[in-house]
Amino acid sequence: MARERSKIRVVLVEDHRSIAETYQAALEAAPEIEFVGHAINGPEGLELILRELPDVALVDLVLEHSEYDGVELIRRVKERGLPTKLMAITTYIGAPVAGQALQAGADGLLGRSPSMRDIIMAIQLVHHGLMVLGPREDFGDWFSGFLIHPEKKECPLTERQLEVLTWAARGYTNQEIGRQLHIAEGSVRAHFSNMQDKLGVSGRQELIRLALENGWIERPR
């Protein structure tokens, strides 16, 4: 019997009702996500995070009619040393607010153009200790430096897991990978299962995509 993969607990801090409803519906529909709460301003957001201690908080940087904005919320959460990862989302993509969010300690920064699938992916990456910045078209030339040289995080996969993924990216089957690495086919399957659990994704192709996009393995030639 397969072991149930733990879900990523997520809260949302967003003051626009229609946007919040869209995000909430998508998060609740994602099998890898457990949506645990929504707040509409900075103080409520901080209270929600302190109470629920979620894995990831999605935070709108510009919170109207709030005692303080998303940047200050991020700063206050970080000052308390909470383990929650903070993903900033904003339509205000100019340099000042983006820089302020990063300086406050945001673990990721997205414009509003990403699809919900991309946001779910970003949540998974941030949850596992990676800095997520983008998409590039949202931030223009000013932000390109951050995108080209993001904060370096340690790859969460073992050397053996990376070897398995390298051969998988070349199109090798489990049996063929086992032969290349001199391990049993069942061990190859176990490595894939462990990697999916670790990264919160499902499927070989999703694992390969993540590894390639983050530079953990080289693209096959």
pLDDT digits (tens, 9 = 90+) for 165-189: 999 988 899 999 999 999 999 999 9
What would the pLDDT profile of 112-148 be if each residue is shown by its tens digit? Answer: 666 777 788 888 888 888 777 765 555 444 343 333 3
- pLDDT of 94: 56
| Secondary structure (3-state) at 10 | strand
Q: Could you tell me which residue, 125 or 85, shows the higher pLDDT?
A: 85
List phi, psi (to 5°) of 11.
Answer: -120, 160
What CATH code is assigned to 8-148? 3.40.50.2300
- 99 compared with 33, residue with greater pLDDT: 33
pLDDT value at residue 21: 92
Q: Write down the H helix ranges in 53-184.
A: 70-79, 95-104, 116-127, 136-148, 159-169, 174-181
**210 pLDDT exceeds 80?**
no
pLDDT score recorded for residue 150: 42
The CATH class, in words, for 159-213 is: mainly alpha
* Residue 54 neighbours by CB under 8 Å, 6+ apart: 9, 10, 11, 36, 37, 84
d(CA 129, CA 220): 26
Residue predicted with more confidence, 200 or 126: 126
CB–CB of 41/15 below 8 Å?
A: yes
Question: What is the per-residue pLDDT for 114?
Answer: 64
Distance CA 36, CA 89 (A): 18
- pLDDT at res. 156: 80
**Can you give the residue ranges of every domain in the chain?**
8-148, 159-213
**Confidence check: pLDDT of 84 > 70:** yes
The pLDDT tens digits of the residues spanning 26-78 come to 999 998 899 999 999 999 999 999 999 999 999 998 887 889 989 999 999 99
Angle at 181 (CA atoms; ends 176, 187), nearest 5 degrees: 80
pLDDT at 132: 77
CA distance linking residue 134 with residue 144, whole number of Å: 9
> Given this model, what pLDDT does residue 144 score?
38
Confidence of residue 2 (pLDDT cuts 50, 70, 90): very low
Q: Do the first three CATH levels of 8-148 and 159-213 match, i.e. the same topology?
A: no
Rounded Cα gap, residues 65 and 67, in angstroms: 7
Which band of pLDDT confidence, cut at 50, 70 and 90, is reported for residue 5? Answer: low
Q: Tokens representing 83?
A: 């383990």
pLDDT of 151 higher than 50: no
List b or e across 189-219, with b for residues whose CB sees 16 or more CB atoms inside 10 angstroms: eebbeebbeebbbeebebbbebbeebebbee
Measured at the alpha carbon of residue 167, what is the angle toward residues 161 and 173, in degrees to the nearest 5?
105
Name the token pair of 186.
């069942």
Q: Are the beta carbons of 86 and 40 closer than 8 angstroms?
A: no
